[in-house]
Every structure is written in structure tokens, then in C-alpha cells.
């Protein structure tokens, strides 16, 4: 699996989705017309059996009362069937606001979304949910450069700090973040025996474990099995996490969850119905030393 996967979602939107919403029918078939919206993709799935198995746009009335078109997966994702609403669909041709499309040096066609600053820190993109949800499911991938070092940034145990080199998925507002999943990038998967602190926790020479709030809800992989390249070097293989065979063969932390997807059950006590999903790229050093670029992200709620 690679960045083409994320682009295929866009193509499904154009081809499958449009054929659905342009269907003309005088009956009130939930989700098919603006005057007969569902409360969510899951609600439509439950109330209109005709939609099951489809992928595309359906009409939904949000918590605020607006009637909009949402992109739905009415099939199985992350091992669960029941109507998934796509909240995040980002890739190099649809970068988050203020992020830049960046062509990977040494390639003619590989591109990713680069944060707006070259400084160390975390750079955020917020995506509204607008509907009630209990589950979050997704898949993320990235390109990397230089020498990212996974969870070696401790004692940065705050979710608001760059606690990893990689991508952090959270829900809630910026002052009340709650962890969903972490995608970390390690130094090397089979080398660095003398100084393994930048490696993934599951590497041949393991690095530090993640902060306690991450628990086991993370994937970690390294772009190389040998000695890492200099800080200016761009790795051209973006399958850090989405190609699970590539990830798992290198002693990486990709065995848990619904790999290459993640799936989280969100407790009602910690969630507000309108909580946004946040995607952050984090590094503890600036671009001159290391960099993470988003190749693609698809995140759904139900």
C-alpha cells in the first residue's frame, strides 16, 4: 500500500459518489436526497439497506442542524461494518490548509504535505467531525528525511509537546487533546547498537518506550535497516506504516491494532460530539536535521 491508496479515495469520490447523489427518486430513501438526510453515515447504513456496500457521498444533517454531503464507506473498515464517515482525506493533491505540497528530491512524481515551518515543534491540521461518533479508524503514511529518533524526546511526557518524531493523531480542541494514535519514525531498525536511544521500541536494539498516555496505541518504523543517511538525505520509500509487510519485517512496532489501520473505541466520558480530529507532524529538531512529510491520511468516525 502507498500514496496511491489515498488518491484512490479521491477517485472513488468522483466516480462512485456522484452517481449516488444524482439519483432521482421521489421516495424518502435516507441519505440519497437533501430533503431526507441521515444523522451520520452509520445512521444511513442502519436505516437504508440499499446503501450497504457503497462508497461515496450521502446527505447528512450535522449536530448543528446543517444538511451537508459526507463521504461514507458503507462497507467494512478496520474490521467493523456499519457506515464510516470520512473526516480526514489528505494527500499531496489535497494538503491541509497552510501546509505545502513538497516534491521529494530525487523523484519526478512523489510528493507529500510539508508543515508550514522548518522549525522544531508540532504543526497542526484540524478536521471537524460535525456528528456523533464512538469509533475512530484510519491509516496514515509519510516520507522522512535526516535522522528522526522516535520517542527519544523524553522527558517530554506532555501530549502538547513534540513527544515523538512522527505524526500524532488526537481528538478534542488544542487545549484538551486526547490521544488516538501515534506514528513514530525511528533512527534504524537493525543498527545503532552503540546508541539505540533513537530507535523504535521494537527495533533489534530497542529505543525508549512512548510516554504513558500513548499506551500501546502506536506504530513505529524506520526508513533504513543500516546506519542512517546524513541529515539532508530524503528517503524515497513512503511505506513507513501503511505497507504492513514492509513495516513488520524490520523488527518494527506494527503488530498491534488493525494494522495497517488503527482503530480506537472512544469512551463517552472523554468525548464531546463535536470534537475535531487533529493531525500533527512533530519533530524535536528543525528541518536541517530531520523532517516528516505527510504522504496521505484517511481517518473515519462511526
Distance CA 76, CA 297 (A): 18
Residue 134 shares a structural domain with residue 37: no
Report yes or no on whether pTM surpasses 0.85: yes
Residues 74, 194 within the same domain: no
Shared domain for 64 and 118, answered yes or no, is: no
Report the half-sphere exposure of 60 (CA within 13 A, side-chain side): 25
Boundary-marking domain end, from 86, 111, 135:
86
Q: Give the mean model confidence (pLDDT) for residues 227-247.
A: 75
Task: Report the C-alpha gap between 188 and 186 in whole angstroms.
Answer: 6
Reported as a pLDDT band with limits 50, 70 and 90, residue 296 is: very high
What is the model's pLDDT at position 17?
40
Higher pLDDT, 252 or 21: 252
Which residues lie below 8 Å from residue 301, measured CB to CB, with a gap of 6+? 84, 85, 87, 129, 131, 133, 135, 136, 137, 277
Query: Which of 169-178, 203-212, 235-244, 271-280 shows the lowest per-residue confidence on average (mean pLDDT)?
Result: 235-244
Percentage of the chain beyond pLDDT 70 is: 82
Number of domain units in the chain: 2
Task: Count other Cβ atoms within 10 Å, centred on residue 24.
Answer: 6
Rg (CA), the chain: 20
**Parent domain of 25:** 4-86
Helix intervals (H) in the chain:
3-12, 18-21, 41-47, 244-248
Residue 48: enclosing H or E segment and its boundaries? none
Note whether 229 and 239 are same-domain residues: yes
Q: Which of 125, 33, 31 is nearest to 85 (CA)?
A: 31
pLDDT in tens, 128-166: 998 889 999 999 999 999 989 999 876 677 999 999 999
* Per-residue model confidence as pLDDT tens digits over 160-198: 999 999 999 999 988 889 999 999 999 887 766 657 888
Shared domain check, 47 and 166: no
Please indicate, yes or no, whether residues 116 and 134 belong to a single structural domain of this protein. yes
Q: Cα 20 from chain centroid?
A: 26
Are residue 81 and residue 93 in the same domain, yes or no? no
Which pLDDT score is estimated for 273?
65
112 in the same domain as 82? no
Coil, helix or strand at residue 258: strand
Cell numbers for 119, please give them. 522549525
Statement to judge: residues 102 and 170 lie in one domain? yes
Report the pLDDT value the prediction gives residue 197, as an integer from 0 to 100. 86
Domain boundary among 86, 120, 135: 86
Q: Where are the beta strands (DSSP E) in the chain?
A: 55-61, 67-73, 76-77, 80-81, 84-91, 100-103, 111-114, 121-127, 135-146, 166-171, 178-185, 218-221, 262-265, 277-283, 290-301
Query: Is the confidence at residue 47, as pLDDT, over 80?
Result: yes
By mean pLDDT, which of 61-70, 215-224, 268-277, 279-288 is the weakest? 268-277
Average pLDDT, the chain: 84
Residue 296, classed as helix, strand or coil, is: strand
Q: Is 119 exposed, middle or buried (0-12, 13-18, 19+ CB in 10 A)?
A: exposed
Which range, of 186-190, 215-219, 276-280, averages the lowest pLDDT? 186-190
Domain boundary among 19, 51, 86: 86
Residue 65 and residue 152 in one domain: no
Amino acid at each position: 500500500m502507498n500514496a496511491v491508496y489515498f488518491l484512490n479515495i479521491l477517485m472513488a469520490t468522483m466516480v462512485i459518489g456522484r452517481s449516488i447523489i444524482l439519483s432521482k427518486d421521489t421516495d424518502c430513501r435516507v441519505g440519497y436526497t437533501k430533503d431526507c438526510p441521515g444523522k451520520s453515515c452509520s445512521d444511513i447504513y442502519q436505516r437504508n439497506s440499499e446503501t450497504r456496500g457503497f462508497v461515496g457521498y450521502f446527505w447528512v444533517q450535522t449536530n448543528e442542524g446543517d444538511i451537508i454531503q459526507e463521504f461514507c464507506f458503507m462497507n467494512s473498515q478496520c474490521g467493523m461494518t456499519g457506515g464510516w464517515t470520512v473526516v480526514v482525506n489528505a494527500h499531496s493533491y489535497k494538503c491541509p490548509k497552510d501546509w505545502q505540497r513538497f516534491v521529494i528530491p530525487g523523484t519526478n512524481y512523489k510528493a507529500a504535505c510539508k508543515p508550514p515551518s522548518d522549525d522544531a515543534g508540532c504543526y497542526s491540521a484540524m478536521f471537524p467531525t460535525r456528528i456523533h461518533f464512538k469509533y475512530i479508524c484510519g491509516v496514515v503514511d509519510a516520507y522522512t528525511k535526516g535522522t528522526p529518533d522516535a520517542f527519544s524526546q523524553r522527558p517530554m511526557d506532555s501530549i502538547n509537546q513534540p513527544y515523538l518524531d512522527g505524526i500524532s493523531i488526537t481528538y478534542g480542541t488544542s487545549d484538551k487533546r486526547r490521544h488516538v494514535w501515534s506514528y513514530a519514525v525511528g533512527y534504524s531498525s537493525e543498527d545503532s547498537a552503540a546508541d539505540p536511544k533513537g530507535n523504535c521500541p521494537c527495533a533489534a536494539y530497542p529505543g525508549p518506550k512512548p510516554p504513558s498516555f500513548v499506551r500501546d496505541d502506536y506504530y513505529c518504523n524506520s526508513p533504513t535497516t543500516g546506519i542512517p543517511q546524513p541529515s539532508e538525505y530524503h528517503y524515497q520509500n513512503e511505506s513507513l506504516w501503511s505497507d504492513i509487510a514492509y513495516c513488520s519485517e524490520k523488527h518494527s512496532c506494527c503488530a498491534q491494532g488493525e494494522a495497517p489501520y488503527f482503530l480506537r473505541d472512544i469512551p463517552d466520558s472523554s468525548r464531546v460530539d463535536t470534537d475535531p480530529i487533529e493531525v500533527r507532524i512533530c519533530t524535536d529538531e528543525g528541518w536541517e536535521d530531520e523532517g516528516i512529510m505527510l504522504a496521505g491520511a484517511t481517518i473515519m468516525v462511526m
